[in-house]
Structure 1
Amino acid sequence: MNQTEHIKIIKEYVKEKLSMDSSGHDYWHIERVVNNAQKILPFETANNLKVIVSAWLHDIGDYKLNNGKDKTEEIVFPLLISLEFSEDFAEEIIQIISEVSYKGGHNSTPSSLEAKIVQDADRLDAMGAVGIARAFAYGGSKGRELYNPEESPNEYIDMDSYKKNTSCTINHFYEKLLKLKDLMNTETAKKIALERHNYMINFLEEFHKEVL
């Protein structure tokens, strides 16, 4: 079995597992992240296979989709071994995935170029028009208010406080999304992020005009 066949099986696995998600972490989010990674890869000297496999699998075990428990290793390791990848390769993929999440802004800089690229690719999908749509989809899936003028944006002291966050969706822009532009790792992602950041700024300006 060659790499193309491996990727096809992984893609179908992700599609089966996430196709019905309504929180903004569905199959199409994953495909966009893969596409973002492919836009970055030509300008970097990374291991393409590790980046693409990690991008396809980065959310499959995420705590947000598994009742608050991260199941990345539990899901990803046996899947990759079943496809005859080595244990070392599977462990590297799990390590990359573990470094992608925002974690309330309390994560360290990714330890590999591959993780930096996947992190950038994932964060780009949280910005711009798609990022706006995903923010409201996720907020709705969690029963959060669209906007509450009596709430102020939070600063999260650790990952636990970030996970327990229940503030309105508009606050999420100030708590996370508007910070992403300055957290990109690669030059390609920085350029894309700037345009998407400005789009969100324009959206928020219009939103606040309409709610006054």
Structure 2
Amino acid sequence: MPSIFKASPSWSIETNHLHISYFMHDSLLHSQFLVNLWNSKEFVKACGETGINTAEKASNFLRTRVHSDYARNGYSMFLVSLKPDDHATLAESIPIGTVSLMKGEPPNAYLAPDIGYTIVADESGNGYATEAAVALLEYAKKEHGVNAVLGFCDKEDTHSARVLQKIGLEFRGERELRVFGGKESAIYALPWMSKDLTVYGVHD
């Protein structure tokens, strides 16, 4: 059983425009932001409904899933906040999305984490998903030795595909993945990863 993870509310990965920080399950601001983001029409269209439609449910998800992943892997889903100016602190910045490296618990998990990102509609198209994803990949490699990363998106989702390509992943075909309920998904991986993705547990 993973140990209790003590996430620092002031820790962040800082980029030119963003702070990438831990989600705090006891923060109403964080929980309500996740509810608003995941129930937006843009998110539901791209990813479907999550069932997380109250701050209480969001807090429970952050505590039981996200913080458990922090404890086990050192990474999970992070909050992306936009700095109002170059030198703004995390506390001065405004939540605009999420960026994640998700790796489930064996044996029902891929052997490499998959990267994901969601930015609110008002800030979409400004390059923030790419900026956040690059920063998280660099952090995960440096601090946790993550060298293999997967990316999945709907085969019609050209926006997500462009971001995956911008951060250095390459298209590896389409498969009906059981983790997505058998839905056909586009698969991406870092160039140096094996061409045989079953090595990483990716199969129909």
TM-score range, shorter-chain basis? 0.3 to 0.5
Give 1 or 2 for the bigger CA radius of gyration: 1
More strand by share: 2
Bigger relative contact order (CA 8 A; separation at least 6):
1
